[in-house]
Amino acid sequence: MSEVVVAYIPVLHEGYRRFLDAHARDRPLFLIGPELYVDYRPLAKDIRGLDAELAAAAIAAWEICSEVSVLDERSATRLAQKRPRITLPDEDVSHQVVERFFTRCEVRYDTAFLRWDKSRSVRMLVPDSAETVSADQEIADIAAAARAQAGTSVDWWRRVGAAMRFADGTIAAAANEHNPHHLSAYAVGDPRSNFFKGVGLELSTATHAEARLVAQAARDGVSTEGAVMYVTDFPCPPCAKLIASAGVAKLYFREGYAVLDGQDVLEAAGIEIVQVD
């Protein structure tokens, strides 16, 4: 049985070169051409994408693959009839093409990160904290403040509290709250109810607890540089960016999931992440 690589490669960067070096060395590479994803809406905005033939010519110059060609419907059907063993990147376009043409072939996926495809963008990950600790006296005050605030939230399906201890020792706390009225979600509905967890994070009438904390500190003229924060749920990506920009030194969280680049942003800002048991 022959072995081939099939991939959607819209740009050329080191990640793709490593993927090909690992799986397509001296093997045929078939680039997924536009004819195979013409109706796939997420790629309609992929204006950076190279013409598939240009990408094929450039990749051929790397001299990794035995041959490089572009798949259209006819050539994909012919390839499927040969029943090769196929390796693809583990992303949305790959799965669509396999479901359409290669269901009778032996297929394996490489989970290497190459781009923010649709499935990866909404994937919920377990946060990788530096350590897991039991609640102790060091954070008992902000943990209690955050939990108390969470209990005041009217967002019954996701009651989140956050608290921050500033460098001067003072503490502030907040819960997620809907706008323009705290009962707005029950008067006109919450747009978030139209989406699954991790999807459409910005489409809500609520201001998240972490964002309220940072905004209130700015309004009061209190510096957040070096502050310690406790959140009952791991921050969403927009809140993670706010926390990183605010100069928070340490983030404690009780539970929750990480999506998109939230954890990467926090770690890049040098924030220590600790889960509380």
In contact, 102 and 86? CB cutoff 8 Å:
yes
Predicted local confidence at residue 262, as pLDDT: 77
Q: What is the pLDDT of residue 6?
A: 96
- Backbone φ, ψ for residue 67 (5° rounding): -160, 155
Write out pLDDT tens, residues 14-52: 999 999 999 999 999 999 998 888 777 666 556 567 889
Token pair for residue 226? 């070096």
pLDDT on residue 155: 76
pLDDT at 154: 80
Residues of the chain scoring pLDDT < 50: none
DSSP string, 2-13: -EEEEE--SS--
User: What CA–CA distance (Å, rounded) separates 96 from 83?
Assistant: 17
What is the residue-wise DSSP string for 12-76? --HHHHHHHHHH-TTSEEEEE-GGGTTT-GGGGG-TTPPPHHHHHHHHHTTT-SSEEEEE-HHHH
Residue 43 is predicted with a pLDDT of 65
Predicted pLDDT at 129: 66
Strand pairing report for 228-233 and 250-255: parallel
Tell me the residue type at 213.
Answer: L
d(CA 178, CA 206): 4
Distance, CA of 38 to chain centre: 25
- Amino acid present at 217: A
Q: 163 by DSSP, 3-state: which?
A: strand
Report the pLDDT value the prediction gives residue 178, as an integer from 0 to 100.
83
**SS3 label, residue 140:** helix
- Report pLDDT for 205: 78
pLDDT (0 to 100) of residue 121 = 63
Closest CA to 93 of 77, 71, 78: 71
Look at residue 48 in the predicted model and tell me its pLDDT.
65
Residues in the chain: 277
